[in-house]
A and B are shown apart, each in its own frame.
Chain A
Amino acid sequence: MSDVLRAVIADDSVLLRDGLVRLLDDAGIAVVAAVGDGDALVAAVEEHRPHLAVVDVRMPPTHTDEGVKAALQIRERFPAVAVLVLSQYVEERYATDLLSGDTAGVGYLLKDRVVDVEDFIAAVRRVAAGGSAVDAEVVRQLLGRTGRATELDRLTPREREVLGLMAEGLSNAGIADRLVVSLGAVEKHISNVFTKLDLDHETNAHRRVLAVLTYLGSR
């Protein structure tokens, strides 16, 4: 990509806001605004039209789900802007709100992920490019649900890993990197997964996420 990614950051902790700015800066992403609450975020997005907004779930005034609300607002009013929501802990309700419907350009990650700098930046770029990022913890919880246990047993351990990484929103190349296997092997695993679970074969990464999440989410 030749043009620089532009991002807006929203987090009420000055310490974290600062850290995120520097982190993205290091990665060559331009932070055009850094704000501390939901209203300021929406205003900044409107003004700067960034590629991506990185948003903390908890912000003033109520410190509950201002971030999610702001993120949904942005999705509605400025569909071209991707949104990555950072949360202190997995709140399934927020994950569902964000990820139901179109998962293109949407991400929901635990704040801890920020510490794995490389993976975090990869997720940021992926979401900004229209892909998805779903936290491994969310996926783990979904995979752990008993509703689909029997069907998931049909998968080999490798296939389950691939399923999980698909749910996280990784592309085939990303999965291949993570598991240190060839692209061809990944494609084969994915094909098996879809067949065994009786799902339509999706090739588009973010539609795939939706399909898998929907599958895992329903009982």
Chain B
Amino acid sequence: MSADVHERDNEQMTELPPPTGAPVGGSPGPARKRSFWDSVPFDDPKEAAIWWYGGLAERQTWINVGYLFAGLVLGPIWFTLVVTMLAVSLPLVLIGVGIPLVVLSFLAIDELAALERRRAGWVGPVIPPRQKAAPADGWWRKLVTRFTDPTRWRQVAYLLTLLLAGPVFYLLGAFPLNVVVQTLFGDSTFGGSIGLGGLIVAAIMAGAISRVAGFAVNLVHSYVAWFLGPDRTEELEARVQTLSGQRQDILDAVSAERRRIERNLHDGVQQQLVALGIDIGRASARVDSDPEGARELLGEARDKVRGAVGELRAIGRGLHPAVLDDRGLDAALSAVVSGAPIPVEVAVQDVPAVSTDVAETAYYVANEAVANVLKHSQARVASIRVASVRLPNGGEVLRLVVHDDGCGGATLDGGGTGLAGMAARVRAMDGTFSLDSPAGGPTTLRVDIPLR
């Protein structure tokens, strides 16, 4: 049974979609230009050949070319559609029947724009939609808002201009490809017979296909993003909102932590020390009259000292785990589960050096999760997996997965699990927190924390 659990876990870890990342063979972006010439392997011909022609073997190159070609084809199609819809519906507004037609047209245009944005996601990061104007009250105002929304007109502008932009980008990006194709299969575009010179040019151009296509595709992506993507200011405003929320979460988490520490100190350590004081007081009262009794009491006093020190050590670990600094996440997590009554596997795949906040957050979440497993889940086995993962949109995260085969039913706000606090902490790190815990189990907690 335990083998099955872990096998499933393994699959979950490797089931993740392969990274698509930025287009390969794209032109060196500004940051990379500086080291471009450093990366050219001038000394070894075989290396140089691989470097020049390598792009042809990559899937992304051909996706880029396909995208540019699609733009060429779709340009006239969108143009025709949009012009027809607007030409029909707008004049009819004057006699009222056009209004629903206009609304329908704009809906259709929204869909086309969404399609274009998704299409652009094949060659670059996914483009989120631009914010539309907020709908006002009353059907007339709603209509007017819709009609005058600049976002909607940007969409129209994009769809119309693609008629020209599509071919331009295609010609630009697929130029080397066209040269090669023409040379091999068609009449020479450069006049005259093909000849050796033509073949040489074509051979060199073949290597340029991936690079030029990548360059063009970056241009197109920016073009689409400018028309259809979010406004920088809006994006920043949304970011500010998120940050304010996160700040509040942190403040709440901090005061919850304080209360927890106070409670632990008060209920645990302070009580023990007072009881200890009583033992010593009673012992000293009977030192002469009943030395045996006094000795016994001092023995009990010593036990209480040990208990209090252990309590303080546990509280200290809750404040900051020293082992995390000294020996890293793997050792720290192993320490968390050592001495647990059930077997808890700890697997930390080789993770690049992470910042202290990220490591600490992962540690505390794992700590809390394991505590919950031991306290509430009645599980027989559990596991902690940590790995660095590249997301589809190009970002890299530290992924922590805690799994147990217990009774499930855990919720974020359910009493005494501390998971809400952990979720807040993770969100404050711009991470994501997901809990899958159906009644009857098993429970899987997954936390992604972005790595800088």
Known: A19-B278, A23-B278. 6 other contacts (CB 8 A): A15-B304, A16-B271, A18-B275, A22-B278, A115-B277, A115-B278
- How long is the Cα–Cα vector from A16 to B304 in the complex, in angstroms? 12
Interface residues in B56-103 by Cβ distance below 8 A to A read none
A88 CB–B CB distance under 8 Å: yes
Contact A114 B285 (CB under 8 A): no
Shortest CB distance B271–A (Å): 4
- How long is the Cα–Cα vector from A20 to B281 in the complex, in angstroms? 11
User: Dominant SS at the B interface?
Assistant: helix
Contact B282 A115 (CB under 8 A): no
- How long is the Cα–Cα vector from A26 to B290 in the complex, in angstroms? 12
Among A20, A88, A114, A117, max chain B CB count under 10 A is at A117
B279 CB–A CB distance under 8 Å: yes
A residues within 8 A CB of B286?
Answer: 26
Contact B274 A116 (CB under 8 A): no
Contact A23 B272 (CB under 8 A): no
- How long is the Cα–Cα vector from A16 to B285 in the complex, in angstroms? 18
Shortest CB distance A121–B (Å): 10
- How long is the Cα–Cα vector from A8 to B75 in the complex, in angstroms? 90
A204 CB–B CB distance under 8 Å: no
Contact A22 B282 (CB under 8 A): yes
- Range, interface on chain A: 10 to 19
Contact A15 B285 (CB under 8 A): no
Contact A117 B282 (CB under 8 A): yes
A13 CB–B CB distance under 8 Å: yes
Contact A19 B285 (CB under 8 A): no
Chain A residue nearest to B284 in the complex (CB): A117
Interface residues of A (CB under 8 A from B): 13, 15-16, 18-20, 22-23, 26, 88, 111-112, 114-118
Given A13-B267, A88-B266, CB of A117 within 8 Å of CB of B272: no
Contact B279 A19 (CB under 8 A): yes
A residues within 8 A CB of B271?
Answer: 13, 15-16
Interface residues in B251-290 by Cβ distance below 8 A to A read 266-267, 270-272, 274-275, 277-282, 284-286
Contact A116 B281 (CB under 8 A): yes
B residues within 8 A CB of A116?
Answer: 281
* A-B residue pairs, 8 tightest by C-beta: A115-B277, A117-B281, A19-B278, A19-B275, A13-B271, A15-B275, A111-B274, A16-B275
Contact A20 B270 (CB under 8 A): no
A residues within 8 A CB of B272?
Answer: 15
Shortest CB distance A197–B (Å): 36
Instruction: Jot down 12 A-B pairs with beta carbons below 8 A, ordered by A.
Output: A13-B271, A15-B275, A16-B278, A19-B278, A19-B279, A20-B278, A22-B278, A23-B278, A112-B277, A114-B274, A114-B277, A114-B281
Tell which of A22, A88, A115, A117 touches B270, judged by Cβ atoms closer than 8 Å: A88
A residues within 8 A CB of B278?
Answer: 16, 19-20, 22-23, 114-115, 117
Chain A residue nearest to B281 in the complex (CB): A117
- How long is the Cα–Cα vector from A111 to B281 in the complex, in angstroms? 14
Shortest CB distance A171–B (Å): 23
A residues within 8 A CB of B280?
Answer: 115
B residues within 8 A CB of A22?
Answer: 278, 282
A residues within 8 A CB of B279?
Answer: 19
Contact A115 B281 (CB under 8 A): yes
Shortest CB distance B311–A (Å): 12
Shortest CB distance B415–A (Å): 14
Shortest CB distance B216–A (Å): 68
Contact B281 A16 (CB under 8 A): no
Chain B residue nearest to A58 in the complex (CB): B266
Shortest CB distance B269–A (Å): 11
Interface residues in B184-242 by Cβ distance below 8 A to A read none
- How long is the Cα–Cα vector from A117 to B278 in the complex, in angstroms? 7
Chain B residue nearest to A22 in the complex (CB): B282
Contact A23 B282 (CB under 8 A): yes
- How long is the Cα–Cα vector from A13 to B274 in the complex, in angstroms? 11
Contact B281 A23 (CB under 8 A): yes
Shortest CB distance B80–A (Å): 72
- How long is the Cα–Cα vector from A115 to B271 in the complex, in angstroms? 12
- How long is the Cα–Cα vector from A112 to B274 in the complex, in angstroms? 6
A residues within 8 A CB of B277?
Answer: 112, 114-115
Shortest CB distance B264–A (Å): 13
A residues within 8 A CB of B285?
Answer: 26, 117-118
- How long is the Cα–Cα vector from A4 to B304 in the complex, in angstroms? 31
- How long is the Cα–Cα vector from A152 to B270 in the complex, in angstroms? 35
B residues within 8 A CB of A114?
Answer: 274, 277-278, 281
- How long is the Cα–Cα vector from A26 to B286 in the complex, in angstroms? 10
Shortest CB distance B281–A (Å): 4
- How long is the Cα–Cα vector from A117 to B297 in the complex, in angstroms? 14
B residues within 8 A CB of A112?
Answer: 274, 277
- How long is the Cα–Cα vector from A206 to B83 in the complex, in angstroms? 98
Shortest CB distance B48–A (Å): 75
Shortest CB distance A65–B (Å): 14
